[in-house]
Structures are given as C-alpha cells and as structure tokens.
Amino acid sequence: SASCTHCIMQQWRIRRAVNLLVFQLLFLRQSEAQIRYSIPEELRTGSLVGNVAQDLGLDLKRLRSGGARIVTGENIQYTELKADKGTLVVNERIDREQLCGDMTPCSFTFEILLEKPMELHPVTIEVLDVNDNAPTFQNTHLEFEISESATLGSRFVLESADDADVGPNGLQNYILTPNDNFVLKQHVNPDGSKYAEMVLQKPLDREQQPHLSLKLLAVDGGNPQKSGTVNINVKVLDVNDNAPVFNQSVYKATVIENAPKGTYVVAVNASDIDSGSNGQVTYSFSKSKAGITDIFDIDEATGKIYVTKEIDFEKDKKIEFRVEAKDQGGLTDSSKVEIEVIDVNDNAPVINVMSFTSPVSEDSPAGTTIGIINVKDLDSGENGQVRCTIEGGVPFKIKSNVRNYYALITDAALDRESLSECNITVVASDSGSPPLSAKKTLNLKVSDVNDNAPVFPRKFYTALIAENNSPGVSVLSVNAKDNDENQNARVSYILQECEIGGSPVSEYVSVNAETGVVLSVRSFDYEQIKELVFTVKAQDGGSPPLSSNVTVKIMIQDQNDNPPQVLYPVQTGGSVVAEMVPRSADVGYLVTKVVAVDVDSGQNAWLSYKLQKVTDRALFEVGSQNGEIRTIRQVSDKDAVKQRLSVIVEDNGQPSRSATVIVNVAVADSFPEVLSEFSDFPHDKEYNDNLTFYLVLALAVVSFLFITCLVVIISVKIYRWRQSRILYHSNLPVIPYYPPRYSDTLGTTGTLQHVYNYEVCRTTDSRKSDCKFGRAGSQNVLIMDPSCSGTMQRMQSEKSILDEPDSPLESRILYHSNLPVIPYYPPRYSDTLGTTGTLQHVYNYEVCRTTDSRKSDCKFGRAGSQNVLIMDPSCSGTMQRMQSEKSILDEPDSPLEVS
C-alpha cells in the first residue's frame, strides 16, 4: 500500500509539472488566467494543491486587498484558498468515485474571485484515482440452467463486476475457477467496460454431473490487487438444442426526460427455432448492468420496454444496457439497447449570491456595487440560456460583467429616512419553452448618516406652575424628534444660558438631558416673579451634532399664601387705640374705617370685612366690602363708654386667610370722661426703645429751632420759671384747676365735638417725659397706654392717613425739681371758630415736672384734622401725646408755642 501510494504521488507530481508548464505557455498572458492542478483522491485536509499566487502571477497584497475567495456553485468546497500565503489546500476529503462516478477524467472547477477591480480566474482540479475500491458483484450467487445437449461453444453471459475505480485501478480481469466444461472468455464494451462469458468447451452430462459449482473472480489492476467473487451454480437440463437469437445486435431508441411512468420506449425480438416449450422465449434485462431495472421494465413475453421511473437528462444523457432472451431449455442470447434521453426545460435557473453588502450607507453614490450573484441553469441549449433582471421600482440595477456573473449596483442616491430597508428581488429566466424563472430576494438595510437635526413638534411651549412649589417638581416635558436612527437620533436636551431677574436661569429650572423633563430648581414666589422665559436646545448624538431650539414659557400661578395685612388701625404693643364717638351721633355715623391689603392677586386679594366680636352688636356694623364701621342706631346715654369691636378681614382664596383687628371705640362727648373710663387698664412696664429714638430725633429738631429763636425762647423760659417757682417749693396736694383758655370750634364733620389740648405735669422720678399734641381734624383717636398712668400720647397711625404737612411742633421744655406736683393751670385760653375736626373744643394744658427728672419734654400741636390721645396710667397725672409718623412731626408750617 505504501509503495502504491508513493507511485501515485510520483505520477501526480509529474503530471502537475506538465500541467503547470502548459499553463505558463498558454494562459499566463491572459487577463483572466485559467490554471489546472492534478491531485490524487483521499488526500488529507490541509494538503497542498498548488501555489495560486505564483501560478497566476499575482502579488500576495493583491490577493488580500482584492478579498480573494473561492466561489463555487457546489454545496461542498473541496479546496481552501490561503490568501495570506497564496496557496490552495485541500479543505474536504475528496472521493473521486463520489464526485465523478465512472467518468474519466474526473475534475471539478471553481473560480477565484478578486474585487476592486473584479477579476475571475477559473481553476480546474483533476482528481486522480487511487485503488481504494475492490470489484463487487451485485449478487452473491448466479444460477444457470444449461441443457445437457448444449453445443460446444455455447456462451453464458456472467454478471459483470462493478469497480468504482477507473483506469489501471479499475476492473482488469475475470478469473473462473478451473473446471472441465467451461472456459472464461472476456469482452470489452465500446465504453471500455468489460464483461465475461462462460463458453462450453466440453458437453455436459446431466447423468454424470447434474450440478456444477463454480466461482468467478474479478480482479483490478491496483497494487496491491483487489478482487471480488461470485458463486455460480449450473443446473444441467435435459436436451434443448437451439438457443434464441435476436434479430438485431443493437436496438436504438429515444425517450424524453421526465417521461411519465409506463411510457413505451422500444421492443426487442428474439426467435428460437426449437418447437414446443423449448421454443418459447422470455426476455429479461442482462445482469451485466446493475440498476437498470429501477429505470425500465421489460415485458417478458413481448420484449417491450417501458419507463418505470422519471429520467433526468442532467444525470443520464444516454442509457445503454443489454437484454437477454431465454428459451425454456435455458438457452439464451443477448442484445444491446441504446436509449438517448431528450432534454426538457425542467430546471429553473439557480441564483447563488457570491457577495452582498448590507447595510449600505445612505450617502453612497450612484453606481456603488452592493453585491455579486451567479446564475446557473442545468439544462442545455436554449433551455440553459439565462437572463437576469430586478423586479419592482427600486433604485438598483443589475449589470453582467462576466458570463453567468452579475453585479448589483445602486441606480440613484439613497435616503434612509424615505427608504430605510429594501427588498431587492432578482429574477433569472431561461429561454426555454415555456421559460422557467427563479427569484432571489435580498434584504438591504440602509445605514444612517446624521443629515437631520432634531425637530420640536411646536415652536413654543407654555406651562403653568403654582407658586410655593416643591423644588424638583416636574413642570413640563419638551420632546424633539430626529428622523435619523441610533446614535444620530439620540437627542439630548440642554438648557441655554440666560438671565432672569439678574440671576442665571439654572437657578430656577433644570432640564433632564435624556427625557427633556423641565424641573423646578427652587420654590417660586408669584409676588417676586410672574413668569420664566428661556430656551431649550435639542442636540443629537451625531458627528458633527445637529441641534434646534425651542422657547419655553412657564407662568407662575398665584396661591393664597399671604394673609391680609391691616394698615389701619395700627395695633400698638402696649397701648389701647380708641375711636371717639359722640353720644349725639346719628344712625350711619362713620366711626372709622379698617384699611387692609393683600399682596396676592386675583380673587386671592379680594377682601371682605365682618364683625367677629362686639360689645354691643346692635350699635355698630362694618361694611363687608369697604371696611367702614358705622352706627346702625342712634347712640344713647345708656351705651357704655368703652366699646370693643373685633373685625376679621378675609380674602377670597381657597382656603381663605384672614386677619383680625381690635377697634376700641370711646362713646363720650369729652376727654375727661374718656380718661376716667380708660384709667384702669393694666400697666405695661416695658420700655419702648423705638419711641425713645424718635423722641430724641424730635428733640434734636426742636433744639435746632430753639437756637434760631433763642431770644424768644429765653424770654418765655424766664416767664415760665417765675410762674412755677411756687410749685417747685411746695408740699401741698394737687388741686385741679381748669384754665379759662377754652376754644369752642363749630365743626361740621367729626366723631368728637370738642378738641382738648392738655399740658401734663409728671411728678415722679421719670427718666423721660414727653408730651405731644395733635390738632383737631376729621378723625380723633384716643389711645390709652396702661404703662404710664395719666399720660396721654398720640397714636402712631398709618403713614398714608396721618402724613399731613401742616402739623407743627410747638414747644419743648425741660424741668428739674424735687418738689411734689402742685398743678397750676395758666390763664391761657383761646376760643377758635371755624376749624374743621372731630372735636369742637381745644384745651391747652401745661406739663410741669417737680421731681428730679433728667428730661422733661412737652410738645404742643395745633387743632387739626387728626387728634390722637394716649393714656399712660403708669405715670400718675402725666399726659403725653403719642409719637406719630415722622411725616406728621416734620410739618414745616406748625408754629411753636412755649409754656
């Protein structure tokens, strides 16, 4: 076996060298070179076939850059191209018998395809036979019935052995075991196949030897030699002198491929001159052609041959076999039958995709090659001529460059947004009648290029958000669409930098880069900012990125988060505010007006007023819309002097907020009556630092005015000092004295009918003593401060109500004495007519301090439109005017009076 293999390899090398020389002489200069190699079958995988690069004259770089590869229409790829080495090696086990059968020479062809530019180099591989198959018989036993009268030289055809190998390795000889009656004679058919016959060389004697057992040995020419055997049993029959004889040595016929079962093909005829049963002939297929009974059937009596199985022209173009005629005596004759198969267009073209590129970039120019296909038709003649087209209106076309090879190219520019995926149907049709066709659908995907910017569905986004929101709450969501795909369509949202109210917009809102959700960064206050306007940019993830902008407007909705604020009357810490109402007031008399505001907007700022608690509900009412407090009946003497009204102010929000104000009303015709009623309020010992600040400021202004009027002030002080010396050095008790200075002013409108100006004397060791006087006006307010008994102060009111420019400062006097208080009332009395105010009479009193007081101030105001009286019971007998708004104290036209 080793020596045989060595001989075969030597022969293969010699033939390969010869083939290579012929190739170099004939095909080397062709643009599409064709090479041929010869290799023995059954080579191991990886065995070298040949150096393709060297034989084709190609550089290894060309093989790699051109993507050199083997294209074949067969299912099995027997060879593999090593592009990096330029060699062709065995890829699959090659069985010559399986590949070619008994066809010689045996070869298979494929093409080596290179691209950029496209080159096609056919390669033919001849497979040399190796003696790897022994001759075999279809049957293990052969039965013969031979008459004893068989003439010498009678021939008996034996079953032919089948050897899959060819050439020297094929069937070479038959050997019959030695015997006295038969010798073996071998014959060669025109196709080169061999068959054997037994020739009778000695008459048979049934009585001596009724049965003969022989062996037929079939041997091939391989080294070592292989063989196959079959047992032959010969039964000797009684006398039959004549064998059947065919009237033709060769019968020829034609049959169309794919003929239906039972189709008549041809009839053979043989005759036997014997009579009776010895002359009856039966027909059968000869055993020399195995497998023929699967295709045809023969009528034993008539010799007619019929089709039993569809015949394929592509497998069997011509069928040859032998027919045997046998009489009843066992004598036989044989004849050859040749049947030619006629081709029918029964094979549709076969489309093989050699290469296909998917996806293809949408910016690929027209004419770009996206695929190479191969089309084959197994039929012959016009039935095998193929044309290829593309079905449908797609922007592609097909072009043939090499026989049976087609290039699929683009016919126009591609746009993924309008055609992201396309099915390309290639139709291959032959020229048969009727024509057959095949379709191959290729799914092409178009890859995206970033040629579309994100687009917002609208140009402007508007959203509402309630004030006092929680930070981080979602306000709205912006959304942009990008017609691209994957990363090119991945949209990111960016907040454009700008300023809102002097602060960066990022301090108010933020945008989620992935979802486009706009979030509030902090809580909004409608009273500070009403709306936010900013820009959001949508940017895709392409390279370079594309973007677009949209304007977002967020409007802050007001919430009822602010309660009403009462501007008037002002609620002081330790003082009691009192509105004076004369007992002669009529029904509908305006006592005062509650003034309140709400910094919210809309219905949240609509205010309503109502009485919550009142001393006498039947006496007063409050306007629900304007806050005016009026009498609802005539005031009588039975009504209490002290009236306390609790007014609640509510807004119209949901839920509503409210504020409560206490209004104290004094029902009296004179201040003494009021003072007596309000003298029992609790003391407040707390020291008011703000009041001190304003008093010091007022003292500074008064001092400046004193300097400008120094002469007048000195004269007045001397006069007042002489009048008060008696009080300073006296221990007598206080005897009230009412001065004759009385002014009865007939006023037209007011709450109180008289205006009283008092001078207050403080006798205790007080550190500060101030007395301020207000003028009569359209509104009088009495404030009782329990922290300083007997002290009258003017109430600090709302600046918008009390800010009158004609209220002057009259005087400021300091007293230093350790004597007890002896009231002294000067005879200064004035009766003023024609003034308009709440009180009709003005009383001017002088304030004297006899103790060792560090400071003693007395300020006088003139009759006017507003009088405020503060009663401070913590300092007995002292009456002070309440410190009012600076706008009231700083009036330039108020004269000064010194007492």
Residue 252 and residue 288 in one domain = yes
Please state, in angstroms and as integers, the Cα–Cα distance from residue 515 to each residue in 450, 460, 493, following that order. 21, 18, 8
pLDDT value of position 509: 93
Same domain, 381 and 334: no
Same domain, residue pair 670 and 582: yes
Shared-domain flag, residues 336 and 250: yes
Q: What is the pLDDT of residues 188-209, one digit of tens each?
A: 888 777 889 999 999 888 778 8
DSSP line for 752-815: SS----------S--S-------B--SEEEEEE-TTSTTB--PPP--HHHH--TT---------
Which two tokens mark 682? 């609790």
At 575 the pLDDT is: 55
What is the number of structural domains in the chain?
A: 6
Chain Cα centroid distance, residue 607: 51
- Are both 310 and 289 inside the same structural domain? yes
pLDDT of residue 61: 86
667 within a domain of the structure (yes/no): yes
> Which has the higher per-residue pLDDT, 31 or 491?
491
User: Residue 212 is part of a domain; what is its CATH number?
Assistant: 2.60.40.60
Range of the domain at 304: 245-342
Q: What are the angstrom distances between the C-alpha of 526 and each of 461, 562, 600, 715?
A: 20, 11, 8, 62
pLDDT over 50 at 806, yes or no: no
Same domain, residue pair 582 and 626: yes
Which of 625, 657, 675 terminates a domain? The answer is 675
Among 237, 256, 279, give the residue marking a domain's end. 237
411-464 pLDDT tens trace:
888 888 888 888 999 999 888 888 888 999 999 888 888 888 999 999 999 999
Tell me, yes or no, whether 516 and 617 share the same domain.
Answer: no
Residue linked to tokens 């709400």: 598
What mean pLDDT is predicted for residues 93-121?
85
pLDDT digits (tens, 9 = 90+) for 525-568: 888 888 999 999 999 998 889 999 999 999 998 888 889 988 88
Is the domain of 394 the same as that of 443? yes
pLDDT beyond 50 at 684: no
Instruction: Tell whether 360 and 421 lie within a shared domain.
Output: yes
* Dihedral over alpha carbons 259, 260, 261, 265 (to 10 degrees): -40
Report the range out of 115-119, 227-231, 778-782, 889-893 with the highest average pLDDT.
227-231
User: Which of the two residues, 316 and 232, has the higher pLDDT score?
Assistant: 232
Residue 536 within a domain: yes
Measure the CA–CA gap between 140 and 162, rounded to whole angstroms: 13
User: Stretch 337-346: mean pLDDT, rounded?
Assistant: 88
Enter the DSSP assignment of 415.
-
Six-digit token string for 574:
């330790």
CA distance linking residue 424 with residue 440, whole number of Å: 8
Task: Indicate whether 851 belongs to any domain.
Answer: no
Kindly tell me if the per-residue pLDDT of 729 is higher than 70: no
Instruction: Please tell me the predicted confidence (pLDDT) of residue 337.
Output: 92
393 and 324 inside one domain: no
